[in-house]
Structure formats: structure tokens, C-alpha cells
Amino acid sequence: MAKVFVGMSGGVDSSVAAMLLVQQGYDVTGVYMKNWSRDLPGMKCPWAEDLADAKRVAVKLGIPFEVWDFEDAYREKVVEYMLAEFKKGNTPNPDIMCNQEIKFKLFFEKALEKGADFIATGHYARVIPFSQTSSCPPVVTGGTSSKLPVGRNVCENGISLARATDENKDQTYFLYRISKEALKHTLFPIGEMLKPDVKKLAAEHGLHNAYKKESMGVCFVGEVGMKDFLKEYIDIKPGEIREIESEKVLGYHEGAIFYTIGQRHGLYLSGVAGEKNDGMPYYVVDKDLEKNIVYVSKNLNHAAIWTKELELTDIMLRDEIPEKISVRLRHRAPLVPATFDGTKVIFENEIKRPASGQSVVFYDGEICLGGGIIK
Amino acid sequence: MIYLDHAAATPMNEKVLEAMKPYFLTDFFNPSAAYLPAKKVAHEYEEAKGIIAHTIGAKATDLVITAGATEANNLALSIAESWDNGRILYLVTEHDSVRKVAENHNGVSINVLPNGLIDMADLREKMTDDVVIISIALANNEIGVIQPLAEVSAFIREVRFDRLSRGVRTPIYLHSDASQALNLLDINVARLGVDLMTLNAAKVYGPKGVGALYVSHEVKLKPATYGGGQERGLRAGTENVPGVIGFAKAVELAHEHLNGNRKKYARFKKILLQELEDYELINKTHTLDNFVVLCYNGLDAERLIYLLEDRGVYVSTGAACAASKGVRSHVLTALGLSESEINGSLRLTLGETNTEEQIHEAARIINEVVKTERERTHG
């Protein structure tokens, strides 16, 4: 009987994942990963509820349950990375980092140490074997383009990371950086299910968290927004908001670091904006971290907003890159056609420029080919 | 449902609800208003406070009504702030609403003996001239152990005498949280020698969010809130009339049935201890009649809670809040229990919702669940 350690967050997805594994006859152990506890003085810690939910489900399923503490690693690899990136003016994605560094690294490694054959999570994604993918490239030893790194996961392991059946919930955007070694030992039990069916199944089997409110956004930021979270670590530094075309001061902000290119909410604009207030919103189009100035524009055609290409760094390729790919610029954003030359993604049509630090994820059909981080 | 967690919450008695109702609907007046119907409400409010005070041998004017025991404990310990570097001594097994305050005021904890009773030698050793207040719950909320407060207060009298003889001006007061004991013990503040005592309606089949602090006239507290000067000026704000009326009714009922209930719980406890299998009893002596703290060494009590919940039996591990915070019980740790013993500890607290039939049934279900878990862990 194959031994599986399933990451249980207390949510319905990972609960149903664990249940399915039990039904499929695996030797299942539930694990709650304690990643971040923001125990402020006098505050009731929020993770205790999630832990209790996860444990209650494990007991219901009759499986052993453990709590693995990755708090220190999480602080170092995810939170500090995130703060450092923001300080550089980037807008990082901590969930992608959490998957790469914690769930599919430390959790995976510890599970292997404990004799696991597989790890499992409640992510909406699939691992599909080589033979099932018609688009799978043939086994070759060199790239078709000399710029392409050779990293043919398909050929080495015979598996690929594939988009979830529920296109609405697909989470491969957050998973493109996880190691190939980990993926080889990963099960995504709900990857072929639709979310409503997952909930229904949970309810049918009496899992108490079937209708639990879904956690949204970054796990550890919790109910406060990212800006409020950052404010606890980065001091407020008031600065000017200027219109990029006129250089006119339109208002003030609490620190350029807190703003992201493309953002249009949370700008403190003064009455000046009203002078020619045509009801059009201002967008952040640029920021000067050194002078602490945020530049905005209401011109949606402003050159800073649109781009035809994006230069990437920290590229992680899972598969051979075909001539034409589709890419995703945000979780759940529509796929857009593009090509990749080894460092740059070139889009067929102009796109709204995402913030630096965000990820671009490549797809060939249902296969997630990898991706990179916007410079 | 078999509810065995009366130390966490009690259902409100029907009679209590009935007593409260008019003060929501018809007698809703602000007791401070000038017209006669409001004066009548003010009078009834004071009468209700008198009933509550009377059960601990005090007068209405000795009580400060609060929104529960936590607030009352916070208010009592705030006396330490009136003195430079005022120190709080507290029993190591106290509730968080005492411990957390004490930690902010150079708090020093007093050890307990393995049976949960205060270590008097340790108290004597830790008594320094900067100690303004000592907080010791009359009955502990996790294990139900009843502390010998009269013995402590006798020692405090010695300390007072000694301080005065040496010209030390810092006063010393004894505070006791009696939340768990109000409906199970005959309490008298003078006999116990306490200067401040916390009471709680929610633990005695009264409404939640209502508590009281008994304040002896010698203790000069600073106001918790400023405003209209209600509650002797210590806690301004329009009085919670229905809450206090309900509290008084609950206390009245509790005292009417005090002896009957104690006998009943003692009998139920005996049944449990006879019929349950494979356990160690943690609170063997000096304990409230309705507290049964069991240790299933080697098992995970939290798992037992979820399994029992599935069978309609509601129990707890330690204090409800400690359990939900994922931290090990500081009370059981203080008793010197090992990690595995603490993890296997269940708290059963009996109450008015229980019948003898339920107790037999609960014992049977707990035995079954424990057996299943033992089998699962052994392979």
C-alpha cells in the first residue's frame, strides 16, 4: 500500500483530497503545515481554527494526523523574500514561493524521510503521464533553439504538470516553479474535479468544512490587505503622486513601495484631479523609488501601460518550449498567445504590463511548461 | 446530545430568561433617568446586585458589574498600577485573564503542589515588599481544584503586620476568581479573607457577558472607564439591567439547589469513575464535585473530542481557549504531568443538563471511542 502524506489546510479542497486518497486505498497521513503564525500580543491566533478543522477531518477519516512546523523556513524563504522584493520595487507572489520552497520542498523532503511514496495536496492541477499528452515533444537531446535550456522533464520523468479540469480553479500558475523531483512524487486528487463537485462530495460525506469560507489572497496576509501587512514591516514615507504627462502633483501617497504598476485603487488624490474630472480613473504607470514619487496617468493608452514583450528572470522550464505558446499573466487570467526566445516573452497582441516581480507562466495546450519572473 | 462541558458554558435557565424579559421590553428605562418608572428600574437593579452580593456575604455597594469575568480580573489586577513597580503574584495555574495581565506587571507565579494546591512555602519565598496583589482562583477552571484561601489570607495578614511594623507603605490585597465555584461552594468573602472577588453569570446558568467584581471598601481602584460615574465611578456606562437581573435570578436558583446539586454531581462522578475504563484520574482531591479530569496516556485527547462529538458527547481538553490555541495546558504542565499525559487529558464537567442515564451512556461511548483509538494507535 503506497504511503501518502497529504497537506491538510483545514479547507474543503485538501479535506476532500485526503478523503479520496483514503477511498483509493492509500496509507494516508494528514499533515498540517504550520507556516505562519502572526501571534500579536493579545490576539487570538488565526491558524488554530484551521488546524482544528484539518484535524477534525483527519479524525473523521480515521487517519493519523501530524503538525509539521515550517515557521522559521517560511519566514526566511517566503516572508523575508517578499519584503526584500517589495523594497526593490517589485511585486512578488508569495504563494508561488511558498509552493516552491515549503510545500513542494521542505514538506516533500520530510515526507520522503518518513517513508512516503507520494505527497498530495488539494491543489487544482494534474500530473499526467507522457503518453497521455499528444502535444508532448519527442525525446531529443538538444533544444530547437540554442537559447533554450535543456530540461526535458517529460523525457526524464515521463510526467507533466497539467492544468486542472476545472478551468476556473486551475492553480498551475502557483505551481510552475515546483521541482520536477517533487512533482514525480505528487498526487493532486481533486485535479480532475470541479469545485462545486468537491463541495458536494464533502457535504455528502459529512465533512464539517464543506461550506467553509474560502481563504482568499495570500495565506499569511490574511484578512488585512497586503498594504496593511507591509506597513507592519516598512515605515510609511509620504511622497508625491504626479501625473506622468504633466509632472503635476495630484496628491500624496504613503510610500512608493506600497504601490504597484497598474494599480488604480488606494491613491490619495487631491482636488486637483477634479479640475478636469471626467470620471476616468488614474492608474499607477511608474514609480521612482529613489525620489519616492508615484506616477499616474488616466490615459489608458499610455506607453507605460502597454507592452508587446516582457523580459524574464529566474526562468524555470519544465518542458520543451514549442514555437507558439500561450501564457498566463495572473492566476485565473485568460491565456494569451505568445512566443518565448529564452529570455523574453513576445506577445501576439499588446498586453497591459504586469508589475515587475510577477510571474509569467507558459502553457502548451493543457501542459504547464514553466515560466519566469518579470524583470 | 450529552453535554459534559459545563465549565465552559452553561445553558441559561428558563426562569432567568423570564426574569430578564421585562427589562428588555417594558422596563427598559435608563436607571439614571429622572421619572419614576426609571427610578423603579434603578431600585430593582440595586436589589438584584444585592442578591448577587449576598451570596458571597457582601453588600450591593461592594459590587462593580462588568461584562464578564475577564474584565473583572483585569479591573482587580489594575490596582498594581497604582503603585510604582507594583508587583502581581499569581498562582501558576490561573486563567489567562489573570496571567496575561500579571505578565505586564512584573508578575511572579506561585507554584502548585502535584495535587494542584498552592505551594505555601513558595508563596512565602516570593513575597516581596513590592507585591500589591495576589491572585488565586477559588476553584481552578481546568481541574476544579479548590484552593485554601483562608490559609493564604491568614498569611497575608502576617505580611500586612510585618510591612507596617517596618514602615513599608505598599498595601497588599488578595484577589480570587470564583467564576467556577459560585454555584458549587458556599462562599463568604469575610471568612475567606479576600479583598477582591470575580464572579461570572455565564458559568452559573445566567446570561453571557455579565460579571461582577467584589471590591472591599479598603481597596481603592482606579476607574476602568470614565463617564457618567456608574458602579461607584469605577465603570461608567449605562447599566446592563437585564443582565444583572438575570445574574441575580441565576444566583438565587443556584443557592436554592446548592446542596442537592453537589450531591447529584458527586454521585454522577462516582458512576463515571466506576464505569470508565483504562484511565487515570488527575484531580483526585480538593476538587469541585462536577469536575472529572481524566488522563488517557498515549492517546490524543483532541482526537477523542472529535470522535466523541461525532457520537453527540461534548467534552473538552483543559480550558476551551487553551485547547483552541494549540498550546499545551499550563495548568497540567504545572502539576508536573508529562507531555504525553497532557496530550491524553480530557476534562468532563457535569451540570444541570445531565441525567443519570446520560452519565451511564457517556461512560459507555467514551469507553468505546477510547478502545477504538487504542486499537488504531497500536496498529
CATH number at residue A241: 2.30.30.280
* Pair (A88, A193) in one structural domain: yes
In chain B, which segments carry CATH 3.90.1150.10? 2-10+258-363
Q: B219 burial class (0-12, 13-18, 19+ CB within 10 angstroms)?
A: middle
- When comparing pLDDT for B219 and A142, which is higher? B219
* Structure confidence at residue A312 (pLDDT): 96
Mean pLDDT of chain B: 94
Does the pLDDT value for residue A223 go beyond 60?
Answer: no
Task: Please name the residue that has the C-alpha cell 526584500.
Answer: A84
Which one from A45, A98, A136, A155 is the annotated catalytic residue? A98
Does the pLDDT value for residue B61 go beyond 50?
Answer: yes
Q: Is residue A271 domain-resident? A: yes
* Pair (A95, A189) in one structural domain: yes
- When comparing pLDDT for B308 and A284, which is higher? B308
* Structure confidence at residue B181 (pLDDT): 95
Does the pLDDT value for residue A274 go beyond 50?
Answer: no
The DSSP annotation for B322-338 comes to HHHTT---HHHHHTT--
Q: Write the CA distances from A296 to A228, A236, A246, A375, integer angstroms.
A: 22, 20, 10, 21
CA pair distance A200, A206, nearest whole angstrom: 10
Does the pLDDT value for residue A157 go beyond 70?
Answer: no
Residue-wise pLDDT tens digits, A310-368? 999 999 999 889 999 999 999 999 999 999 999 999 999 999 889 899 999 999 999 99
Q: Write the CA distances from B157 to A281, A331, B132, B165, B193, integer angstroms.
A: 73, 69, 13, 12, 9
Contacts of A131 (CB under 8 A, 6+ apart): A158
Residue A51 sits at the chain B interface (C-beta within 8 Å): yes
Do residues A239 and A288 touch, judged by C-beta distance below 8 A?
A: no
Mean per-residue pLDDT, B59-74: 97
* Pair (A310, A247) in one structural domain: no
Residue A49 sits at the chain B interface (C-beta within 8 Å): yes
Which domain covers residue A328, as residue numbers? 306-374
- The C-alpha of B120 sits at a distance from chain A's nearest C-alpha, in angstroms, of 31
In chain B, which segments carry CATH 3.40.640.10? 14-255
Query: Tell me, what amino acid is at A222?
Result: G
Q: Which H helix or E strand runs over A4?
A: strand A3-7
Does the pLDDT value for residue A150 go beyond 70?
Answer: no
CA pair distance A179, A162, nearest whole angstrom: 14
Interface touch A49/B324, C-beta < 8 Å: yes
| Candidates B307, B324, B326; nearest CB to A59 | B307
Picking from B167, B72, B89, the residue whose alpha carbon sits closest to that of residue B132 is: B89
| B14-255 placed in CATH 3.30.420.270 | no
Which one from B33, B190, B273, B321 is the annotated catalytic residue? B321
Residue-wise pLDDT tens digits, B211-269? 999 999 999 999 999 999 999 999 999 999 999 999 999 999 999 999 999 999 999 99
User: In terms of CATH architecture, what is B2-10+258-363?
Assistant: Alpha-Beta Complex (3.90)
If you ran DSSP here, which 8-state letter would residue B40 be given? Answer: H
Do residues A125 and A162 touch, judged by C-beta distance below 8 A?
A: yes
- When comparing pLDDT for A262 and B172, which is higher? B172
pLDDT category at A222 given cuts 50, 70, 90 is low
- Give the whole-number percent of chain B exceeding pLDDT 90: 92
* Pair (A255, A360) in one structural domain: no
* Pair (A182, A230) in one structural domain: no
Does the pLDDT value for residue A155 go beyond 70?
Answer: no
Chain A residues lying within 8 Å of B326, measured CB to CB = 45, 47-48, 51, 67
- Give the whole-number percent of chain A exceeding pLDDT 90: 57
Mean pLDDT of chain A: 85
| Candidates A45, A55, A62; nearest CB to B376 | A62
Mean per-residue pLDDT, B355-359: 98
Rg of the Cα trace of chain A?
Answer: 22
Domain boundary among A204, A235, A267: A204
Residue A59 sits at the chain B interface (C-beta within 8 Å): yes
Does the pLDDT value for residue A306 go beyond 90?
Answer: no
Strand order in the sheet with B173-177: B63-66, B211-215, B196-200, B173-177, B131-135, B87-91, B108-110
* Pair (A239, A362) in one structural domain: no
pTM score, whole prediction:
0.84
Do residues A164 and A172 touch, judged by C-beta distance below 8 A?
A: yes
CA pair distance A297, A254, nearest whole angstrom: 18
pLDDT category at A232 given cuts 50, 70, 90 is confident
Q: For residue A368, indicate whether it is catalytic.
A: no
